[in-house]
Every structure is written in C-alpha cells, then in structure tokens.
Structure 1
Amino acid sequence: MWYLLGIHPAIRGPPARSLAHGQQRRVASGRQEHLDTLRTFLTGLVIFHHTAIIYGGEGGWYYVETTRKNALLSAFTGTNQSFFMGAFFVVSGYLSAQSLKRSLSRANRLGEHTRSRACWTFFKGKLLRLGLPTLVYTLFGHALTLAAARGQPFTLDFYKAYLTDWLANPGVRGPPWYCALALIFDGLFAAHSSLELPSLPVYRYTPPLMLALLPVVSFFWRRVSPLGWNFTPLGLHSAFLPQYIIAYATGIFLSGHSHLVFPDKASQTPRTKWWTSPLPAVGLYAAFTAFLLTYGPTRAVLRDPTPLFGLNYVAFLYCVWNEIGFVALTHSVMRIAHLWTDPTPRGGRVLPRLAYGAFLVHSTVCTFIPSAMREIQLPPVTKTVVVGSLCTALSFCLSALLVRIPGVRNVI
C-alpha cells in the first residue's frame, strides 16, 4: 500500500549506486518481465470475470444464460471490478513513461534534439498498437461477437445491418474501450512532454491525499456518470473513470520510483520490507469488507444492486470499499508478480507475448463457447470454472495463431 500512497521513507529513491549500462538493462528487462507476468494474470482474470457474468455474476455481457444473480459470482465480479482495470492502467502508465523516456533518450543520442519529434514517434507506436486493434475489433470483431450472442449466422446481410447501426451511433465497441482510453492518456502524456510543460508537483503526501479523496470524487462523479451508464464514443462505463486516471498517473509516478514497486531483496531491511509490503492494505481491505458484511446490507446488494445507483450511504460505502480494494489488490498482485517471476529463464515467456492478443479476441471466444455449451447443466460456479478455463486456453491459442500472420506481431 505504501508505495501507492507515496509515503515510503525512501520516496526520493535508494542510495545512489553506480550501475554499468549492461546491468541497468538487465534490471530494466527484469522489471519488464514482472509486468508481463502481471498482465498475463490480469488477462486471464478478465476472461473468468466475463464468464462469471454469464452464469449469474453482477455485470453486463453479450450473452447471459440467467438473470438470477449468484451471490458468490457477484462477489467475485465486484472484487475484480474494484481493481483489475485500474491495475491495467497502472501498468500502462508505467510502461508508457518508460517507453517515452527511451524515445527521448534515443533522439538525444542521434542528435535529434526536437522533443516534439520524439514524442510523436512514441505516439505513432501507440496508435499502431492501441488504435488499430480498437478499429478492427469495432468494425469487425464486435459484429462477429454479436452474431455468436444472438445465435445468428455471420452473413453479409447481418454485417451490413451492423454497420448501419454503428454509423447511426458511432463509437468504440467492446473490451477495446481500454485500448482507446489508454491511447487518449498516452496522447495527453506525450503532448505534455512535447510542450515541456512543468511536471505536476508531487510531494510526500500528495498521493495519499489524492487516494483519500478518490472515494469522495468517485461518489459525486457517479451522480453525473452513474454505474452502468455507457459513454458511447469510447464504449466506456465511465463511473470508474476517476480511478483509471489516478491509476495511470500512479504508473507514471512509479516509473521514476521503481524501487518502490520492485524492491531490491538483497538491500531490504525489516523496516523497508514493512513499508513495501501489501499486508497493511490487505488487512485494511479485509477489515472493511468484514465490517460491511456484518453491519452493511452487503448480501442484499449482491442480489439487488439498486441501492448502489443512488445518492445514499450504501453507494458511498461501496465507493470507499472499491478504492481501498484498488490500492490493496493492485499492490498485492504487483508484488506477487514480482516474487513469482524468475527473470533468468527465457523459455517461459510465451504466454506474456500472447496476452494482448488473448485480450483482444476473448470477447468473441467468451460468447461463442458459452453459447455452444448452453445445454450442459452444471452449478453456476462449477460451470464458470470449466467454461472460463476453456475460454482462457482458446483465447491464448487464437492469439498464437494471430501472431503468425505477417505484420500482426508488430501490432499485438
């Protein structure tokens, strides 16, 4: 929790050490692999999240088998929603800051001192990697997914009808809303750097103040953009937008203080281990969850989320719980990815290379497979595990096929 809050005593960085250029590159590569592991886990979690919605979890999806809510699956989807997309934006901010730094450094080495040119080069890469998949999915993949959800053949007439509807109400469709929003964040970040605007002042207690205000900001923001409301141009459920903005900014902040997210095990003391441990945040999150289960109408909300849409104490408590979950669970999964990943072997990096492609195709897979298995009768949780596992495996397999297409590997 503490590195996200920004109150680590070593916020200005560890003692200066002279590292050879090769060693610096190895350290940076190791950090990249930790984040790759995290993105792979989050991609699998997204697939299981959407599968859970099909069988009774709270949320919206193309294809749903039952309108009867399952409390356990709703708790699962609600917990995921509190942090997993925010964690994606933390990773996006971190990697974008590192990528832009490399672009500027490369321009200086080559004698190109124009910051705007280096920033434009950075943004062109983001347009290719984020913008092109968003466009392809919106114009083609979404139509294929809708056909699978409705049990209709994907014919030319169906596609023409889809394009007619899209032209009447244009905008991003489906899960690539994340790519579109990340592209906007990257564009603003590149423009800020290109214009050489002064960095925002981030003092020792700025991050904790921002995170303390986040539940309040989210609560009042949802009066303007309530839960479930869709911002059509981006295909975005914008109720969680304040969290995504803070998450992306946190990623940029951490890119300059990587010792907080990737602490050096050899140099850690008992004190620094405590400050960089996710246990305090997880303990607070668990305690607040227990409080809500004991004294709040939590079980009723899992079956009927109507109170969350109003201006009441239940909605405010949900905002507080959601943002504590963002801090606690994001920190936890980042540290687990840090401890889990062994940066030495190279053979186990196949799944991370396929994670982005799996994310892009998973909506079609998570609609077609459940629809094909609708006659199989299993308990909701069991069916979520079985179908979610199949959808995860197939999504990564399709990604492996996609990257074999010439030129696609450069995009995904």
Structure 2
Amino acid sequence: MEKKMERYLFIDNLRLLMIVFVVMIHFAVTYSGFGSWYYKESVKLDIFSTIVFGYAMSYTQGYFMGLLFLIAGFFTPGAFDRKGVKRFLKDRFVRLGIPTLIYMLMIQPFIVYFLLGFNWPPAKPSFGVYYWGYLRSFQFLGESGPLWFAFALLIFSCIYALVRLIRGTIGQQTRQREIGPSDIVFLGLLISAGAFCIRLIQPIDTSILNMQLCYFSQYIILFITGIYAYRNNWFSRIQNPFGLKGLIVLVLGGMIPWTAIMVGSGVPQGLFAFKGGMNWQSAAFALWESFISVGMAVGLLTLFREKFNRQNRLVKILSDNSFAVYVFHAPIIIYLSLLLKEVMLPPLAKWLLLCIIGIPICFAVTHFVVRRIPFLNKVM
C-alpha cells in the first residue's frame, strides 16, 4: 500500500497545480473582464493584453477542470470497492456535500453582503432580511460559486453508485489494454461532438444553477474515462514518448488554430460566434478545446509521473490544503483585489502581482486557520 500511494504522488501534485490554476484564472477574470466572477476591475485592455489573457484563459479552461474530473473518476471505483455503497455515499456527502453547503449558506452570503455590499442600491436591507430572503427563495441552490465542481462531482458519484448497485460487483479487468493514439482521437471527437450539440442550446457563458453545461460533455466523458483508467491502470501505463510529445505539440502549436478560430469569429468586433450555434466557428472551437483537454491530460499525467512523483514537506502541506483553498479562495482573493483596487498598474502586471501575493496567502489561511477549526478539519 505504501508503494502504491508513493506511485500516485504525481496525481496529488498535478491536482495541486490545477487548484493553483483555478485561483490564477479567477484573478485573470478580475483584471481581464473575460468570463464570470464576483468582482471585475473596469479596465480597457490593449491588443497584447487581450491576446495574452484570451489565449491563456481559453487554453487553461480547455483542460484544467476536465483533468480534475478525470482524476476524480480514477479514484471513484477503488473508493466504492473498499467502502461499499453506504460508506461511499456517506463519505461523498461529507467531503463534497458539506463544503458545498458551507459555501452556499455561509461564504456566498458573506461575499455578496459584506465584501461586495458597496454594490447595493440605496436602502440596503439588514443582513437578517437579506439572508432570510436568500433562503426562502431557494436562491442559494444556484449560488455554489466555485463549489459547482464539488456539487457536480457529488451528482456523478451518486449516479456511479446507482450504476454499481444495478450492475453488481465489477472486479479488476484481467486483460488490461494500453491507451493509444486512436483512443485520444476517439475521446477528442466524442467530447467535441457533445460540446457542439450542447452549445446549440447552452452556449459558453451561460449556466443553470451555476452549472456551465457548455463544458459538461468534457467533464462527464473524462470522469467516465477516469473510471476506465483505474480498471486498466492507464495512468501508470501511458508511454513516456507518446504522452510528452503530445504535450509539447499542444503547448507550442495550440495557438495557431486558436488564433484562426478567433479571427474567423470576428472577436475584435465582439461577435464571438465560437461560443455556440450552428456555425463552423463553434464546431472548430469545440474540436480544438476537446483535443486540448484530452491531450493535455495525457501529457501532464505522463510528465508528472516521470518528473514529479515525489513530495517534500512543503509540497505535502500544500497538497493537503489544496481542496480547502478551492473552497475558501474566493473571499480571500476578492478582498485582496479590493484592497489593491487603487494600485495603478497595467492589467497583466496587476494580475501577476496578485497571483504572487494571493496564492501563498490562500494556502496560509487554510493551513493556519481553516483546517485547524475542529469541524472543518474533518471535511477539508
């Protein structure tokens, strides 16, 4: 068991990096204006900043949450096998459901009423009046913030448990097959077809109950792929040259098709045809994004398995705090953004400054405060 856990340290390290990227993306929304976030600074971007923010955010959005669902799917079958249905569901409700409720019922109202209270029109209600209306209207169900991921993962886990109950025990496959280029192509085409169809109805930047369904083709398929990856031991068996070469090609060559799609979509004129609809731009963007998600997952898993399959004491602490940072980073980075509101810097420089300051503060707060609170240390 110790050898097995040591072998999977690269997955913990990769998951840690994805959580750091989540914080960086939310800072990027603050200073670019692209996407949805609580607080945005009103700044006008020059062409260079627009391209840098646009590509970095599109590229990261293309794979980082899908990779987290892939990793979550990988650990799901083993947890179910060890615990059985009752303990499995209880554990998921504790580890995913309770943090989601904490966010919906405590963190979200705190952000809206206290941190962003200056946005209220005159005759601001008392907190009690606001909070009662927030609960009575069931508004909180759509106010999961970044915890939409935990909410969605809880739903996926419940569906998995139901399927296992119907199908019965599923043992380890006796003949494990390796993942190859044909699998990458198949997954990329499958995800892109699903994304294109969903975006006919739910284009990018729309959501239902805070769930951006435009990306859920990727999330669902990669979660299921993670389950198969566990049964076939794919994470440990991806061939080194295959995974790393794909990563290099995607990082270096990904901007060429992205630029062609953006120019073809008329982004300078604000048309944004790539976000959805029956057009070639939406189909091309879904295809680009889907192959980014699959290729980056394979490449990063290979890279971290080969180069970062170990932890020193600091990385272990950061890894242990990564989920708590995911849950509590929003009020921390909003407060920091408001605190440095009057600092006059170009948007890119301010984004980098806040990342350098804010990310260590997020980990420090969760390590020295949040995870030392008796109840929270059991669910974080």
Asked if these proteins are the same fold (TM beyond 0.5), I'd say yes
One-letter code of the match for 1:158? F
CA change 1:45–1:288 in 2 (3 A) is closer
1:106-145 alignment runs, 5 A limit: 118-145=84-111
Query: 2: CA distance between counterparts of 1:76 and 1:295?
Result: 15
Does structure 2 retain, via aligned residues, the 8 Å contact 1:57–1:76? no
Give 1:35 shift: 1.5
- The equivalent of 2:152 in structure 1 is 181
Give 1:216 shift: 1.8
Query: 2: CA distance between counterparts of 1:407 and 1:347?
Result: 24
- The equivalent of 2:164 in structure 1 is 193
Give 1:405 shift: 1.2
Does structure 2 retain, via aligned residues, the 8 Å contact 1:282–1:329? no
1:51-66 alignment runs, 5 A limit: 51-66=27-42
Structure with the higher helix share, 1 or 2: 2
Does structure 2 retain, via aligned residues, the 8 Å contact 1:359–1:395? no
One-letter code of the match for 1:144? F
The 10-residue stretch of structure 1 (400-409 or 356-365) with the greater mean CA deviation from structure 2: 400-409
Does structure 2 retain, via aligned residues, the 8 Å contact 1:51–1:387? yes
One-letter code of the match for 1:231? I
Give 1:197 shift: 4.9
- The equivalent of 2:141 in structure 1 is 171
1:5-404 alignment runs, 5 A limit: 25-66=1-42, 68-69=44-45, 70-103=50-83, 118-146=84-112, 147-151=114-118, 157-158=126-127, 160-168=129-137, 169-173=139-143, 174-197=145-168, 208-232=185-209, 235-258=210-233, 260-263=234-237, 272-275=239-242, 277-280=243-246, 282-283=248-249, 286-287=252-253, 289-294=255-260, 297=263, 300-301=266-267, 304=270, 306-309=272-275, 310-343=277-310, 345=312, 348-400=315-367, 401-404=369-372
Give 1:263 shift: 4.0
One-letter code of the match for 1:143? P
Aligned-partner SS, 2:341: coil
Aligned-partner SS, 2:167: coil
Moved over 6 A (4+): 201-207
One-letter code of the match for 2:208? F
Consecutive unaligned residues of structure 2, counting only runs of 5 or more, are: none
Does structure 2 retain, via aligned residues, the 8 Å contact 1:89–1:248? yes
The 10-residue stretch of structure 1 (348-357 or 59-68) with the greater mean CA deviation from structure 2: 59-68
Give 1:312 shift: 1.3
Aligned-partner SS, 2:228: helix
Does structure 2 retain, via aligned residues, the 8 Å contact 1:285–1:324? no
Query: 2: CA distance between counterparts of 1:61 and 1:360?
Result: 15
Does structure 1 retain, via aligned residues, the 8 Å contact 2:147–2:327? yes
| Equivalenced residues, count | 361
CA change 1:292–1:75 in 2 (3 A) is closer
Q: TM-score, normalised by structure 2?
A: 0.86
Does structure 1 retain, via aligned residues, the 8 Å contact 2:195–2:217? yes
Give 1:41 shift: 0.6
Consecutive unaligned residues of structure 1, counting only runs of 5 or more, are: 1-24, 104-117, 265-271
Aligned-partner SS, 2:39: coil
Q: Does 1:408 align with 2:379?
A: no
Query: 2: CA distance between counterparts of 1:217 and 1:347?
Result: 40
Query: 2: CA distance between counterparts of 1:72 and 1:362?
Result: 24
Give 1:123 shift: 1.0
Q: State the superposition RMSD in angstroms.
A: 2.8
- The equivalent of 1:10 in structure 2 is none
Does structure 2 retain, via aligned residues, the 8 Å contact 1:289–1:321? no
CA change 1:188–1:373 in 2 (3 A) is same
Give 1:313 shift: 1.1
One-letter code of the match for 1:178? F
Alpha-carbon deviations, 1:59-113, whole Å to 9, x = none?
A: 110000026453311221111110111011011111222212222xxxxxxxxxx
